[in-house]
Amino acid sequence: MLVTGKMTEIPRDLGDGLLLRRSRPADRENVAEFHANTLLDIGEEPPLERLYSWILDLMSGEHPTFAPDDFTVVEEVATGKIVSSMMLMSQTWTYDGISFPFGQPDIVSTDPAYRRRGLVRAQMEVIHAWSAERGELVQGITGIPWYYRQFGYEMALSLDGNRVAYRANVPALEEGKEEPYTFRPAATDDVPFIMAMYEQEAARSLVAAPRDEEFWRFDLFGRSDRSGAAKECRVIERQGQGGVPVGVLIHARRLWSHDLGARLFEVKPGEPLLGPTPSVMRYLDSVGDAYAKRDGGDFRGIRFDFGEEHPLYETIPERLPKISRPYAWFIRVPDLAAFVGRIAPALETRLAASPQSGYSGDVTISLYRDGIRLRIVAGRVAVERWKPERVEDGDAAFPDLTFLQILFGFRSLVDVQCAFPDCLVATDNARALLPVLFPKRASSVWSGG
């Protein structure tokens, strides 16, 4: 497909013998090999097998939400050598239960000899054009500090966050007692139950990434064993109860920095979380120990990668002594009025449950160069574009992209005001309404790579 526009047309000659084009199925091995040898963290040795295998899965044609031509590639025309590349993964996310189309740029790397030539910027322009064509209202990427700010992103959504139990924190099974819960590998017939448990977790998150049955089947049974995205899924059953599932546990297939990571632990309604938790910890401890012996590693603890908040954290706080605060997604919202308009029903619900229920009036939000107006009539919210004529205009003003921090619940209004002196709230209606409409809320998003 040809992307048109002076800055986004591809294939495009970038000069210096370089061509920017869209990936093809035949590029699969070369794209995977390039990133596996280039996209390295400090101390990592190439090639990264987990990344290589993940990209092969993405470009296999079997992935439910990704196509083999969803990468951009910059190559030397003379040799065909790839020198830079990135991808766009399209998904549907939810904001307080309201769905919206979302685009995730990812797997971004450049050959060190070709860095600082604007190659990522040129590809970002194309990726953003693809995302706009697909109707995606928000883009988000995870990555190194600061870097993606230069492409219109703000760190505005919780990423990761975890609690760690060291091996000494794992409760021992009483002598002579039988383990009360068992953990069996998930089968295809378990997918509906796994989906229900995941939806239970996602419902606690302000922003979430729904997964349909097709994706779960691919995620659990279609990935390469060596892919970094592959996980182990176990169905939790109570001993002697005839195979009736009570919960789901999903964990990593290898250690990461001496820890075994767990990504999902949920029990069905009516099952106390405290019941299987000791068995879950002992099971993960035994798995981590086995991984260390298999791979020659050093297993030190269990990392519960459940974000900033999870019922487990309140269930066994003394057994989770290490607390890691969340990092952040880089978020881009190219049309703020369109996105806020999309989530207006969530704002109306918050308003109706607040002391300001029934309010009518306008709230103008200045971003200094442009802004939005919230027109509220008897609790109903309409959103329109608005432009301040002076820097003093607006009921509230947010510098740069800082409004995204309260929009996505990453920070409270007070947090942003404390950090940015030019975040100004000038009127009583803004002081009363903005914390109601945009409260601080935790998110733990499991994106669909």
pLDDT at position 351 over 80: yes
What would the pLDDT profile of 68-87 be if each residue is shown by its tens digit? 999 999 999 999 999 999 99
Amino acid of residue 157: L
Residue 305: both structure tokens together: 């990668």
Average pLDDT value for residue range 329-354: 98
CATH class of 335-436: alpha beta
- pLDDT for 201 equals 98
- pLDDT for 284 equals 98
What would the pLDDT profile of 284-338 be if each residue is shown by its tens digit? 999 999 999 999 999 999 999 999 999 999 999 999 999 999 999 999 999 999 9
Q: Among 1-15, 260-274, 433-447, where is mean pLDDT lowest?
A: 1-15
pLDDT band at 5 (very low <50, low <70, confident <90, very high): low
Average pLDDT value for residue range 43-57: 96
- pLDDT for 3 equals 46
Question: Taking all residues of the chain, what is their mean pLDDT, rounded to a whole number?
Answer: 96
pLDDT at position 429 over 70: yes
- Quote the strand ranges of 309-360, DSSP E: 322-324, 327-332
- pLDDT for 422 equals 97
Average pLDDT value for residue range 152-171: 98
- pLDDT for 242 equals 77
- pLDDT for 331 equals 99
The C-alpha atoms of residue 408 and residue 213 are separated, in whole angstroms, by: 27
The pairing of strands 98-110 and 245-252 is unpaired
The C-alpha atoms of residue 370 and residue 249 are separated, in whole angstroms, by: 46
Residue ranges per domain, the chain?
12-141, 162-327, 335-436
- Which residues lie below 8 Å from residue 200, measured CB to CB, with a gap of 6+? 266, 269
Residue 402: both structure tokens together: 């800082």
What would the pLDDT profile of 219-255 be if each residue is shown by its tens digit? 999 999 999 999 999 999 999 887 899 999 999 999 9
Same fold, 162-327 and 335-436: no
pLDDT at position 66 over 90: yes
- pLDDT for 218 equals 97
The pairing of strands 231-238 and 245-252 is antiparallel
pLDDT at position 424 over 60: yes
What would the pLDDT profile of 114-135 be if each residue is shown by its tens digit? 999 999 999 999 999 999 999 9
Q: What percent of the chain has pLDDT over 70?
A: 98
Amino acid of residue 378: A
pLDDT at position 202 over 80: yes
Q: Taking each helix axis as running N to C, give the angle between helix 28-38 and helix 49-58, from 0 to 180 degrees, rounded to the nearest 10.
A: 150
Topology classification of domain 12-141: Aminopeptidase (3.40.630)
Average pLDDT value for residue range 362-378: 97
The C-alpha atoms of residue 114 and residue 145 are separated, in whole angstroms, by: 21
pLDDT band at 36 (very low <50, low <70, confident <90, very high): very high
The C-alpha atoms of residue 393 and residue 411 are separated, in whole angstroms, by: 23
- pLDDT for 9 equals 85
- pLDDT for 6 equals 59
At the fourth CATH level, the homologous superfamily of domain 162-327 is Gcn5-related N-acetyltransferase (GNAT) (3.40.630.30)
What are the C-alpha distances in Å from 87 to residues 21, 26, 108?
12, 16, 7
Give the DSSP letter of residue 4.
P
Model confidence pTM above 0.85: yes
